[in-house]
A and B are shown apart, each in its own frame.
Chain A
Amino acid sequence: MLTQIANRLLISIPVLFGVLLLGFGLLILVPGDPAIVMAGPTATPDVVEAIRQEMGLDRPVLVQFFSYLGRVLQGDLGRSLISNKTVVSELLAAIGPTAELMVACLVWSVPLGIALGTLAAVYRGSLIDRAVMAVSVAGVSLPIFFICLMMIHFVGVQWRLLPFIGRGGPLWTVEGLRHIALPALSLGAIFIGPVARMTRSSVLEVLKLDHVRTARAKGLSETRVILKHGLRNALIPVVTLIGLQAGYLVGGAVVTESIFSYPGIGRLAVGAILSSDFPLAQGAILILALGFILINMVVDILYALLDPRVQA
């Protein structure tokens, strides 16, 4: 297990290098001159030029990249051009809320998706099955921004049930929970569909296998056969799917946070990109990529825990 985690970490190094290169390259390519942003709209060309030199933006791109890389390795992500706070402090302030959002999203959508998928598989062809599949098709095909807007429109504005702007505090406070509810419901909605579908097909597949017949021949109750010998084995591909979907989750978080004005990494990234605050944008992209790598690492560990054949 430990060697597996170590291997995984080693593999992440080139991935992170690629992320840094892309993040750096994208911000060179997009329109907007950071020196102008920093100097402000009224600055004279001389001032802009002076700032450009001070920031090293006049040097060749490769030199800029490697000096950036050197600073990142020392934990220095620079300062935000807008707020002048260090990027690290900005990211640290936003990472907690985003982590909370991810947890609040996964904690209801994954179990519900698995439960719905299992029900659909067990009652295959019934009304339950069709209803679950209809819900999951809707979940897969509705764009996340649309779900967010519908949530705001109905739950937030018309029925006035829940707040829909900002964050109310940490997850363990009532206000925190009330505020995170709508973003977490919206983000989780796109997750249920794929999880339910994968669980359904995987459970159907597993229930046909010989070892399930053995479990029945042991005299186990049908519930126990389905949960212990069907679902347990069926979870292996579901966990893989969750890892693959992590990208959507991160992308969905960017949209969800922006729409709900939720102060997380996603909104930070969008704001930074729109205002050409390139050190902050690079930092945010780096953190999102790290999050993606982390989720996949957790998935790999879960995978090994679920399937003893993986460890060899």
Chain B
Amino acid sequence: MDHAPLLEVEDLAVEFRIGGTVQRAVQGVSLSLHSGKTLGVVGESGCGKSVTSLSIMRLVPQPPGHYAGGAIRFKGRDLLKLSETEMRKLRGGEIGMIFQEPMTSLNPVYTCGAQIEESLSVHSGLSRKAARDRAVEMLDLVGLPSPRSRADDYPHQLSGGQRQRVMIALALANDPALLIADEPTTALDVTIQAQILDLMGELRERTGAAVMLVTHDLGVVAQTCDDVVVMYAGRVVERASTAALFSDPQHPYTVGLMAAVPRIGSAAGRLATIPGTVPPPWAKIGGCRFASRCPLATDHCRAEDPPLAELAPGHTVACWRAPIEAAA
């Protein structure tokens, strides 16, 4: 196994130009992912995690979106420099993507089988018959019962969980090296959620693909990911292995997120929350973007933006107060 990461995002900046103003949705985001690993990208709504994952597919709508800097290297090639035609070969081919909304992510006027076959014929140039067989095989692989007849069903004939299985089959149809899953289980109920996560883990092991799992759910991260990137207001604030992050969170925001996870058995009291809201992308903030909500913030935090610094091997954090004690 080589040690160059499969995917390396470096200092990515994405802006949206809306009505004369420039809003930075994502700034200075760096992350890396090796084959066969699962990387969790965590954060609240609006923290830039979806923009980051769409950027890897180069699917941020342009305009108003605009890649303002950085690089996204996939197998050593900078995706931001590829032509649209080269990019199309990667999309759905070497990089598959699953979206949050299984109810609406499939086209209602084509059968599930036809939608998978379309992707196969575009990328692998399979004959109709071969594409059909492969689509049925994929539907079987993702655990749909009687896949041959399911392939002739329209999306509205399936449940949400079944549709998400179809989406996974679609994303994996061309054996991608990288699977990006943007909140794949958020719209599903808890039992289906567990099934889908198990399925993704199983398929990752079988295909050796790398998975980038975007979620706001720390429980999902703990269950499935090798490494975690915590994002806040368009930036990476903490990066660590899952074990290190959960045993020794270093950014006050990560600590707050963990405290906000409901736990069975701790019946007493209200669920902890982080006061305040994420600053909007157009807010001009001189210092740390979390300072206004941070219990540990000092004048230094409000004045100067902390850089990402390595605390321990593989564990970086962007906080002036780090390392913080576990009691914090």
Contacts and interface: CB of A to CB of B under 8 A. Distances in A.
A-B interaction:
yes
Interface of A: 209-211, 213-221, 228-229, 232-233, 306-309
A307 B108 contact: yes
Nearest to A206: B107
Leading 7 A-B pairs by shortest Cβ distance: A219-B92, A219-B91, A218-B92, A210-B104, A211-B107, A218-B119, A308-B154
Contacts of A306: 109
A309 B107 CA distance: 12
Contacts of A218: 91-92, 118-119, 122, 170
B33 interface: no
A211 B156 contact: no
Question: How large, as a class, is the contact surface on chain B?
Answer: 20 to 34
Interface stretch (B93-101, B246-254, B285-293): B93-101
A308 to B, nearest CB: 4
Contacts of B107: 211, 214-215, 229, 233
B89 to A, nearest CB: 6
Nearest to A229: B107
Nearest to A232: B109
A219 B87 CA distance: 8
Interface string B133-153: 000000000000000000000
Interface in B285-321: none
Given A218-B122, A220-B92, 7 more contacts: A211-B107, A211-B108, A214-B107, A219-B92, A307-B109, A308-B108, A309-B156
15 contacts: A209-B104, A211-B107, A211-B108, A213-B59, A214-B105, A214-B170, A216-B91, A217-B97, A219-B92, A219-B119, A220-B88, A220-B92, A220-B118, A232-B109, A308-B108
B203 interface: no
Q: What does DSSP make chain A's interface, helix, strand, loop or mixed?
A: helix
B167 interface: yes
Interface in B229-280: none
Interface of B: 57, 59, 88-93, 96-97, 99, 101, 104-109, 118-119, 122-123, 154, 156, 167, 170-171
A221 B122 CA distance: 9
Given A210-B99, A210-B104, A309-B156, A217 B109 contact: no
A211 B105 contact: yes
A309 B289 CA distance: 47
A210 B103 CA distance: 9
Contacts of B156: 308-309
Contacts of B123: 219
A217 B120 CA distance: 13
Given A218-B122, A308-B156, A211 B104 contact: yes
A129 to B, nearest CB: 15
A210 B105 contact: yes
Given A218-B119, A218-B170, A210 B101 contact: yes
Given A210-B101, A217-B97, A309 B108 contact: yes
Nearest to A216: B59
B18 to A, nearest CB: 14
The listed residue with most B CB atoms (<10 A of its CB), out of A213, A232, A233, A309, is: A213
Contacts of B93: 219
A229 B107 CA distance: 7
A51 B105 CA distance: 72
A229 B104 CA distance: 13
Nearest to B93: A219
Contacts of B108: 211, 233, 307-309
Nearest to A221: B88
B103 to A, nearest CB: 8
A219 B88 contact: yes
A308 B154 CA distance: 7
